[in-house]
Copies of this chain bind each other. A is one copy, B any other.
Amino acid sequence: MRIVAVKEKTVPLASATRNSSIGFGAMTASAVVVESDVVRNGKPVIGVAFDSIGRYGHGGLLRERFIPRLMAAEPERYTDGNGSLDPNRAWDVLMTDEKPGGHGERCGAVGLIDAALWDLAAKLADVPLWALLGKIDGRPASAKVAVYASGGHYREADDIRLLCEDIRREIGNGHRRFKIKIGGVGVKDDVARIAAVLALLGPGMTLAVDGNGTFSRDKTVAYLDALAGLPLAWIEEPVHPLDYELHREIASLTPIPIATGENLFSRDDARNLLRYGGLRPDRDMLQYDVSLSYGIVEYRRVLADLEAHGWNRARCAPHAGHLLAAHCVGGLGLGLAEVAIEQTSLFGSLTARFAVADGIASLPEAPGVGLETALPFAQIFDGLLN
């Protein structure tokens, strides 16, 4: 197996949404296609991948470093003894002459190529990615994954009424778990939003809240006081992702589960959170983003580390509602996948075709990740496919 071309493009994700950290008006993401020399039905087998959201596209890094490095490598450097594609070996090629530490953008560029290589590997094996991952890990894997519906961004007008409409609609669509933002308004108004949503939930349904990593210590304590006693599934990223000491303090102050990790992009950083963050393996959630954190090769190292630290991988709920993360949930035995409530934007529509029943989504049956089955596939990959 030889890689004959790697193509990329930057896709605008312009969206009017804001969280308490940033606006998304100028947000972008990258799409990647890896073309192999294997021909089936008269066409080359390709791997495709689309970025996670929040860190902008990786076009410059892909063109400057990672695509040239992979294209310059002889196939024996990214295949196994049988000549089959081995994403683990390809990862080493990608990281040649990269210094240790400094995990911000290259982790997203590498993760994107890694994702396309896994899609390609699963297609070459003619199985869905979740099944390939389960086989490699030697554990039961499933196309059925527990999901939560994520949204609750703030609107300029009619905010609570529109939020409740969203939640009602998603209950009708089969969702049972929900997450909304906090921190975009004052704590009192946030409590009113939370109460309005909680009033809509039936038995077994849950609500989590998300602060997007921006709260000071005092603001967090004020929120914990105001939220005390509310039946929240978790409070997500109340404080800065790299302030482990503050995580430790917050965790000591509340029985509410804490979820964090989406802005830590490597095994090194993931491990430091476990070592220093004071998180509780019986309840807290780890949300490392697979695609933005050097991809599946690195994510499997993260899983090994967390098990060595006494954590169960069921505490993992990878950031961002994309198919790759959902395959990791189904294939690697993780806890939860994220699905966007807002499905009109390009990123939100990636999981719009998920069939959800009683909080469980069914992954596509197509070989690979099944991005081809996603609503915006043609738009995202326009110009990259032959």
Contacts and interface: CB of A to CB of B under 8 A. Distances in A.
A54 to B, nearest CB: 6
Contacts of A245: 275
A270 to B, nearest CB: 10
B64 A240 contact: no
Contacts of A97: 22-27
Contacts of A24: 97
Interface string A191-219: 00000000000000000000011100000
A190 interface: no
A184 to B, nearest CB: 15
A101 B213 contact: yes
Interface in A12-57: 21-28, 54-57
Given A99-B22, A99-B213, A213-B99, A272 B104 contact: no
Interface range on chain A (Cβ under 8 Å from partner)? 35 or more
A137 interface: no
A275 B21 CA distance: 25
29 contacts: A22-B97, A23-B97, A24-B97, A25-B97, A26-B97, A54-B99, A55-B102, A56-B64, A56-B65, A57-B64, A59-B64, A60-B60, A60-B61, A61-B61, A99-B263, A100-B242, A100-B263, A101-B213, A101-B240, A102-B107, A102-B292, A103-B103, A104-B104, A104-B106, A240-B268, A242-B269, A242-B272, A272-B276, A275-B276
Nearest to A260: B101
A13 to B, nearest CB: 12
A306 interface: no
A268 to B, nearest CB: 4
Contacts of A292: 102
A80 interface: no
Given A242-B269, A272-B244, A263 B102 contact: yes
Contacts of A307: none
A264 to B, nearest CB: 6
A54 B101 CA distance: 12
User: Shortest 3 CB-CB distances between A and B: which pairs?
Assistant: A60-B60, A104-B104, A101-B263
A242 B269 CA distance: 7
A241 to B, nearest CB: 4
Contacts of A243: 268
Contacts of A26: 97
B242 A101 contact: yes
